[in-house]
Chain A
Amino acid sequence: MFPQKPTSLIVSALCFYLVLTSISPLAIAQKKTAPVESTPPPIREEFKFGKIDLEVFEQSDLLDSKLERDGLVLHDESANAYLRRIGLSLVPKELSLERVAWNFRMLRDPQPNAFALPNGSIYVTTGLIFLVDNESQLAAIIAHEMTHVLRRHTYVQNRSNRKKFLTMNIMAAVGTFAPGGIVGAVITIVTAVAPFILMATVYGYSQDLEREADLKGVDMMISAEYSPEEMVNVMRLLDKDIEGENIRLFYNDHPSLEERIKYLSSYLGARADRVTQQMELNRERTAYFKTMEPVMRHNLQLSIMAGRFRSALFHAQRLVDFHPDSENLFWLAEAYRTLGPRSSQLTDKELTNSAKKDAAKKRVKRTLEEEEQDLLATPSGKDNWQTHQQKAEEFYLRALSAENPVPVIHRGLGMLYEKLGRANDAASEYGKYIELAPAAIDRERIKKRIEALRRT
C-alpha cells in the first residue's frame, strides 16, 4: 500500500532519491567494463557559461595569483620554456576556446601531481617532473590535464557536485524531521554514511571524466607526435609508492591503475603501431634529464625538507646514474645522511593498506626527530643509521673530487660529523664552507653551529 499521509509520502520520495544517488557511483563503476570506442576529437565548443561557471572561472584566476604570490611556482626560465613548448604542441591547431588562456607552470611540491584549472592553467609539480622518464611521459600528463580544460570538466563536475550537496542537505533535513520508527533510523544512518560516498566523488573528477581525459589525451599525443604508449608507462610510474602514502580508500575518484592500463591498451590498439622518428626522439631520456636536471635538484631539496627521504634517495640515485661525476653525488650523500635510521625501501608488509594507514596516523603524532629516536632504539634502526652515514660520507668525499665541487659539500660533511659526535671535524668542515661561500644564505646558522661546537 502507498503511504497516505503527505509527510510519509515526502519521506518515501526522499528515500527513493537517496537510494538512487547512493547507487549512482556504483553505476559509474560498472561502466568501466564497457568496450573502449573511439571518441570524437576534443574540439567542441558548445559550452554556455552560467553565473556559477563564471564564479568558478574567477576563482581559478585568483588561485593562479595566489599560488604565484605564495612562492609555490618555480621560476626556471629554460625549464618553463620547455614545459610551454610541450604544452603548446599538444593544443589542437586553430583551436580557440572562450575563457581559456594556456599557461604551463611548475609547482614547488615534491609530491608527484598535476592539475588543470578551467582557465587553461596547467600545473605540474616538481615531484612529477622528477618521476617521469622522458618528454613523452610529461606530455601524456599534460595532455590528460588539458583534456579536462578542453572538455570543461571542472564546470561540469562543479554543477554535478552542487546537486549532490543539495541532496546531502535534504538528507540531513529528512534525518532530523523523520518520524520515529524504522524509516527515520535508516535515513539517519544513511545520512551519516552518504556524505562519505558523496564527498568521495567530490574530490577530483568522476571516473567517467578521468577516463575521457585519458583517452583523449592519447589522441592529442598522437597528433603531436608523442608515442601514445607512454601514457600507459606513466600510469605505471604513478603507481610507484615509494613513501607508502597511496592509501586506497573506499571509493577512489580515479579509475584503478589496472583498469586504466587495460582500457588504454585496448584503446591504443593499432594506434601504437605507427612510430615516427620524432616519436622516438621524444622518448629520449638523456635530453629530458639534461633540460630538467636543475629542477630535479631543486625537487631533491624540497623532498628532504618535506621528510620524503626515501623518495630523495631514489631520485638522487637516478640523477647520479644519469650524470655521475657531478654535484649529483652531493645530493645522493644528502639523501643518505637525512635518511638516517630509516630503511631505504619499504617492505611488502609496510606497503599493505593497513600498514600505510598506521604509518599515516603515526606521522601526525610524531615529529621527524621523534621518529628517528624511536628507530634508533631498535637494532635494525641502528644498522641502517650506520650504513647510511657511511654511504653519505663516501659520496660527500666523492663529490669533493668530482668536477666543479660545490661548497655545500663541506656543510653536508659538517652536519654528518656533528651527528657522529666528531665536533672538531664538524667545525672544520663548517669553517671551510663559510670560507668558500661567504654570501651563503645559511651563513648565520652555520656560524652559530661552529660556536656551539667550539663550546663543547
Chain B
Amino acid sequence: MSSVAIPQNPVEPFLRSERMPHIWCPGCGIGTTVNCFTRALLDSKADLTKLAIVSGIGCTGRVAGYTNLDSFHTTHGRAIPFATGLKLANPELNVVVYSGDGDLFAIGGNHLIHAARRNINLKVICVNNLIYAMTGGQTAPTTPGDVITSTAPYGTYDPSFNLPYLVEAAGAVYVARWTTFHVRQLAKSMAEMFQKKGFGFIEVLSPCPTLYQRRNKMGDGLEAMKFYKQVSKIKHGCPTSEVALTKAGEIVVGKFVDRERPEYIGTMNTYLEKQLGERYVEPHTLSDDGGCCGGESEVFSCNR
C-alpha cells in the first residue's frame, strides 16, 4: 500500500505535549487563541529561543504552562511587572504577556497602565471571557451589566471597562480586538503586533461556557461562537471610546490603534548615554560562568 507522510499539527511543536489534554473546558476559547498565537509565531518567523511567555493567574494564565517556550506562571495581576524585569534584563528577549481580563485589568490594572505609559516593548494578549473563570465565575471589571455571576447573584450593576479605550489612553501603540471566531484575523493581528516595537495589546473575546454562558442561559461555547459571528462588526480604526461591550449588543472588532511612540528601553539607553557620555556603560547580563562581567569596559578589564 502507498502512504504519504502526514504533516504534523502546526501547533504541536509549541505545546508541552506530555501535559495534554489541558484543563480548559469544552468550548472554552483559550485553546483557540493558542492556535492563532502559534500561527502568528510561525508567520513572523520568530526566534523561539528568544521568546518568553509570561502569564498571571486564571484560566488564561495556564497558557504559559502548556507552551514549550521559556514560560513563567507568575502571581495574580503581576505578569506585566515580571515581564518588564525580564525584558529590561535582556532586551533581546521577545516577551509576550498572555493573561486574562481579571488578571490584567483588576488586580493587575495598575501595572498594565504603567507599562503602557512607559511603552515597554511587551506584547499583551488578553483573553477576555468577561468573568473570573478559574475561581468559579465571579464578576470581573469587564463583566457587562445585567449578567449573573457568583458574586452578583441577582445580576451585575457594576459599570465595566472598555479595554481598548483604557489601554489606548494609557499609551499603548497597538490596540486591537478580535473574538475567538475571528481566527484568521486574530493570527494576522498577533503577527502584526509582534513586528511592532512598543506596548502592544490585543483583546480576544472568548467563551466561558461553564460559568458565564451557563449561568446566563446563553448556551455553550459553540453558541457563543455563533453569537460572535452574528453580532461582530469589523471597524478598523474605530475610536476606542465607541467599542464598549454590552451583554447582547454589537461587538466591534478590528485594529483600533497603530501608532508610534518612543519605546522605553531604547529611549532609556539613548538618554542615559547622552547624559553620561563616556561614563555610560551599556547594561549586560551575567556571563555563562555566572559572573558579573558580560560587558566590555574601557576603564577596567574583568579579572577573576
Q: Tell me whether A and B are bound partners.
A: no
